[in-house]
Structure 1
Amino acid sequence: MSTEKIVHDEKAQLDFSASMSYSDYLSLDQILTAQHPRSPAHDELLFIVQHQTSELWMKLMLHELRAAIRAIAEDDLSSAFKMLARVSRIMEQLVHAWDVLATMTPPEYSAMRPYLGASSGFQSWQYRCIEFALGNKNAAMLKPHAHRPELLAEVEAAWRAPSLYDEALRLLARRGLDVPADHLERDWSKPYEASDGVEQAWLVAYREPKKHWELYQLGEELTDLEDAFRLWRFRHVTTVERVIGFKRGTGGTGGVSYLRKMLDVVLFPEIWKLRTDL
């Protein structure tokens, strides 16, 4: 092949004027111009990028969680397992994101904090949908979204819908395990209450994993997910304490004191308790 032809082919491959480019496909012009620091502080760009990328990961997490819930409801466990494993890996990405934000020191954060107003991650509607999908239902958490009716409708729908764990318990019942009736049909907007009867149902699967392999595997997928979520919450608390100490959060929460309470929330209580009782 001649040198002239090689040069011509390379030029052809580098000309994207007539086709979709990498930037076009990813809408990079919109994404990379979506950061608008409000303060003169150098570190505000870190703060913005940290939270914007977290919201992107949460968008994917919601996409996977909702599909996993549907798959479990349809007895398609092989698809659900893949989706739940992906959610756990996404959560690991979010855990490590705190490592980057933790490079911001208290004086650096103080330089930009007055420009944040009342904005806070506490107001993230995607995060609230994730919490609700995982079963941590709390009607008070609808209020921060009341100023955006279209978002409130989506958060409220997640609040009223069966959670991932609710659908898992319905699956156990369909597979012949004795799940209490009041955990199969109830007001899904109410916080989940642990049940000895539910634990006994899970124990059947865990005592004979070969016989109930898919249910046993589902229990372990849920364990992986909550394990990763606990790590995320812990890193959130320690990063906030490292950067702002015990000051109140910009959204009006107690800051670290509020986040520490969240560490005590258990999403799938019977799956953790059965480990003691096996």
Structure 2
Amino acid sequence: MTDPTRPEDIVHAEKAQLDFSRDMSYGDYLQLDAILGAQKPLSPDHNEMLFIVQHQTSELWMKLMLHELAAAIACIARDELPPAFKMLARVSRIMEQLVHAWDVLATMTPPEYSAIRPYLASSSGFQSWQYRCIEFRLGNKNAAMLKPHEHHAERLAVVRAAYEAPSLYDEALRLLARRGLAVPASHLERDWTQPYVADKQVEQAWLQVYRDPQARWDLYQLGEELTDLEDAFRLWRFRHVTTVERVIGFKRGTGGTGGVSYLRKMLDVVLFPEIWQLRTDL
């Protein structure tokens, strides 16, 4: 008979609870051996570990973003808005995590980056197939962005599927039309691979929602979720370009892009134009 108040029995009970030899452990569940063994610096420089971990963790967050975005788009297509709101809010919070991640990378100084850059060859975040899928899911379609993935057929198929599918905003406009708002047919059935073009009729449809939020509260909330998401995405892009300029200045990117000059052009991309324009018109 054990006494749970006796020190020796407490120690015995704790040892029993800490025996994970028969059950799945924390490390087993998360496959930590594989994850923590995936950092393999190529240079002798101390700072390369930061560079690798930064980008690997960003890719993990992007994996979750794609998981949530795909589900949110499917929910909107089925008129299931409450779960879509939760998913989109989560995507916005993930973007905030990615924004703050630049603060860590910004601790890498130009000499530190220069020490590892020769070892990167032509590898570049520009080649991230997950990031490209996010851009396509959010509506920034560009056929040229398929090319960096042509060397890997399986990844190209995934990126192409995102490129050819209706974006988050396309499905939002289809929803507005199903709710009786006047969205032009040109924006309901079109070539989804083409970049989105803003339209005055679409803006008027959103204005109807925003001028009387109580009448179409869920559509109003959808508009605000989209605004939150693009707001967070703009912050991420801004921190990206400033961090790159801080670390490498105006050198060309390792993947062959113009570096800062290319990233600055991306700051002008507007994903959901009518939702931003209506704020001027209200």
- Alignment TM class, shorter chain as reference: over 0.9
CA positional deviation for 1:33: 0.5
Indicate yes or no: 2:1 matched with 1:8: no
Indicate yes or no: 2:275 matched with 1:271: yes
Alignment-mate amino acid for residue 217 of structure 2: W
Q: Which runs of 5+ in 2 are unaligned?
A: none
CA positional deviation for 1:4: 2.8
Which of 222, 226, 229 is the equivalent residue of 2:226? 222
Aligned to 1:210: 214
Which of 135, 141, 159 is the equivalent residue of 1:155? 159
Supply the distance in 2 between the matched residues of 1:3 and 1:269 (Cα, whole angstroms).
67
Supply the distance in 1 between the matched residues of 2:201 and 2:57 (Cα, whole angstroms).
41
Aligned to 1:184: 188
Q: Which runs of 5+ in 1 are unaligned?
A: none
TM-score calculated relative to the size of structure 1: 0.99
Q: How big is each residue's C-alpha offset from its partner over 1:110-168, in whole Å with a ceiling of 9 and x where there is no partner?
A: 00000000000000000000000000000000000000000000000000000000000
TM-score calculated relative to the size of structure 2: 0.98
Which of 63, 66, 76 is the equivalent residue of 2:67? 63
- Written as runs of structure 1 = structure 2, the 5 A alignment for 1:5-154 is 5-154=9-158
Greater CA deviation, 206-215 or 2-11?
2-11
CA positional deviation for 1:7: 1.6
Supply the distance in 2 between the matched residues of 1:79 and 1:230 (Cα, whole angstroms).
24
Alignment-mate amino acid for residue 35 of structure 1: Q
Supply the distance in 2 between the matched residues of 1:89 and 1:70 (Cα, whole angstroms).
20
Q: How big is each residue's C-alpha offset from its partner over 1:235-268, in whole Å with a ceiling of 9 and x where there is no partner?
A: 0000000000000000000000000000000000
Supply the distance in 2 between the matched residues of 1:136 and 1:70 (Cα, whole angstroms).
19
- Alpha-carbon RMSD across the aligned residues, in angstroms, is 0.5
Indicate yes or no: 2:230 matched with 1:231: no
Alignment-mate amino acid for residue 87 of structure 1: V
Supply the distance in 1 between the matched residues of 2:136 and 2:11 (Cα, whole angstroms).
57
CA positional deviation for 1:3: 2.7
Supply the distance in 2 between the matched residues of 1:128 and 1:222 (Cα, whole angstroms).
19
Q: How big is each residue's C-alpha offset from its partner over 1:29-51, in whole Å with a ceiling of 9 and x where there is no partner?
A: 00000001000111000000000
Supply the distance in 2 between the matched residues of 1:244 and 1:262 (Cα, whole angstroms).
18
What is the aligned-residue identity percentage? 82
CA positional deviation for 1:8: 1.3
Aligned to 2:247: 243
- The number of aligned residues is 278
Q: How big is each residue's C-alpha offset from its partner over 1:149-194, in whole Å with a ceiling of 9 and x where there is no partner?
A: 0000000000000000000000000011000010000000110000
CA positional deviation for 1:91: 0.1
Supply the distance in 2 between the matched residues of 1:182 and 1:3 (Cα, whole angstroms).
76
Supply the distance in 1 between the matched residues of 2:168 and 2:189 (Cα, whole angstroms).
14
Which of 251, 260, 264 is the equivalent residue of 1:256? 260
Secondary structure of 1:201 counterpart: helix
Supply the distance in 2 between the matched residues of 1:7 and 1:224 (Cα, whole angstroms).
51
Alignment-mate amino acid for residue 178 of structure 1: A
Supply the distance in 2 between the matched residues of 1:160 and 1:175 (Cα, whole angstroms).
25
